[in-house]
Amino acid sequence: MVAQQELDDAEAKDRAAEAQVESSKSALSAARQQLEMSQATNSQVSAMSDYTRITAPFDGVITWRYADTGALVQAGTSNNNSAPVVKLAQVNILRLRIPVPESLAAAVRIGEPADVTVTSSGEHFTGHVTRFTDALDRTTRTMQVEIDVPNETYKLQPGMYANVALEVQNHENALTVPIQAVQHHDGKASVLVVDQQNRVQLREIQTGMEDPNRVEVLAGLNEGERVIVGNFGSFQPGQVVEPKLTKFNSDASQGGAD
């Protein structure tokens, strides 16, 4: 047997314990909410902290700085008035653009080697054709060709000028004459030849490949014949001259005579 008073006391203690449990649960829930808020604040602060470090999508060199310490930088990139912080250039591989003449455009191929000579230093670098427009500029009648040149030592800098030797065709043992020896008239090419009697002859020729110094002769001229280089107005066919041999490049098949 239990007295009613003791039963009431036990039930009261039980209700007080249940209330304390509910209070503890509420406190735990509030603590969890506070933790989530703190974590969100921490994430926001970390995100803002990440903006103090600018990471580029590629390795490069800063070529220009637009903002100094303490300068006000506009937020976001959609604002038309916002200015860049720095200019970054990827210079471990440089892209060289050259105009290829119409006569050689069809012979350009991806992967062909190119000898690049820097005008300022005279150094030579080797690159390869990586892409071209496959269309001619109607104004200049040339095709834009891009050559990638490795620059691991950073000796090359963007904006430098260079001369490029691009091997698009190769004719072994070609007969050539100096480019100054060829006359062009009405779409035909000709040279002034000095025969064995030292008389001047006008000879029509058929030309092939050419570079800045030489022209390939396909027909109309034989190896060993002498041609006049430049100053064509001073000579007439049949005129007797006193030739003076002049040596040109060692790989040229023809000499010249003044």
The predicted-structure confidence for 232-253, as pLDDT tens digits, reads as follows: 778 888 888 888 787 765 443 3
Same domain, 153 and 216: no
Percent of the chain residues past pLDDT 90, beyond the cut? 8
Residues contacting residue 104 through CB under 8 Å, at least 6 positions apart: 168, 169
SS3 242: coil
In a domain, 200, yes or no: yes
Listed in sequence order, the residues at least 6 apart from 195 whose beta carbon sits closer than 8 Å to its beta carbon are: 201
Structural domain ending residue among the three candidates 143, 166, 189: 166
The mean pLDDT of 193-213, rounded to a whole number, is 82
pLDDT score at 254: 36
Q: Tell me the per-residue pLDDT of 160-182, one tens digit each, with 9 for 90 and over.
A: 888 888 877 777 788 888 888 88
Pairing label, strands 142-150, 162-166: unpaired
Is 130 within the bounds of a domain?
yes
Mean pLDDT, all residues of the chain: 82
Q: Which domain holds residue 158?
A: 93-166
- Residue ending a domain, among 166, 189, 216, is 166
User: Is residue 61 in some structural domain?
Assistant: no
Average pLDDT over residues 134-148: 89
pLDDT band of 131, cuts 50, 70, 90: very high
Number of domains in the chain: 2
Determine the average pLDDT of the residues in 41-58. 84
What residues contact residue 205 under an 8 Å CB cut-off, 6+ apart? 182, 189, 190, 191, 217, 218, 219, 220, 221
Residues 212 and 251 in one domain: yes
Given this model, what pLDDT does residue 257 score?
A: 33
Same domain, 150 and 181: no
- The CA-atom distances, in angstroms, between 19 and each of 8, 9, 29, 187 are 16, 15, 15, 110
HSE, CB side, 13 Å, CA atoms: give it for residue 79. 8
49 within some domain: no
Q: Residue 77 above 90 pLDDT?
A: no
Q: Does residue 113 belong to any structural domain of this protein? A: yes
Residues 207 and 137 grouped into a single domain: no
Q: Select from 189, 180, 179, 176 the least CA-distant residue to 225.
A: 176
Q: Are 194 and 200 in contact (CB under 8 A)?
A: yes
**Cα 99 to Cα 93: distance, rounded to the nearest angstrom:** 20
Q: Which of 166, 185, 203 is the last residue of a domain?
A: 166
Q: Do residues 183 and 139 both lie within one domain?
A: no
Has residue 125 got a pLDDT over 60?
Answer: yes
Judge if 194 and 157 occupy the same domain.
no
Residue 125 maps to a domain: yes
Could you report the per-residue pLDDT of 99-112, keeping only the tens digit for each? 988 878 888 889 88
C-beta separation of 246 from 229 below 8 A: yes
Q: What is the mean pLDDT of residues 66-89?
A: 77
More confident residue, 255 or 139: 139
Helix (H) or strand (E) holding 7: helix 4-50
Q: How far apart are CA 93 and CA 60, in angstroms?
A: 10
Within this chain, do residues 253 and 180 fall inside the same structural domain, yes or no? yes
Q: What is the mean pLDDT of residues 68-81?
A: 72
State residue 256's pLDDT score. 37
Q: What is the pLDDT of residue 235?
A: 81
Query: What's the predicted TM-score (pTM) here?
Result: 0.49
| Shared domain check, 145 and 205 | no
Q: What is the CATH number of the domain that holds 97?
A: 2.40.30.170
> Do both 144 and 185 map to the same domain?
no
Yes or no: say if 113 and 167 are a contact pair by the CB < 8 Å rule. Answer: yes
Residues 106 and 154 in one domain: yes
Nearest to 90, CA basis, from 61, 67, 111: 61
Considering only CA atoms, which of 186, 216, 220, 193 is closest in space to residue 204?
220
Residue 85 counted as domain residue: no
Cα separation, 184 vs 175, whole angstroms:
18
Q: What is the pLDDT of residue 78?
A: 60
245 within a domain of the structure (yes/no): yes
Q: What is the pLDDT of residue 252?
A: 36
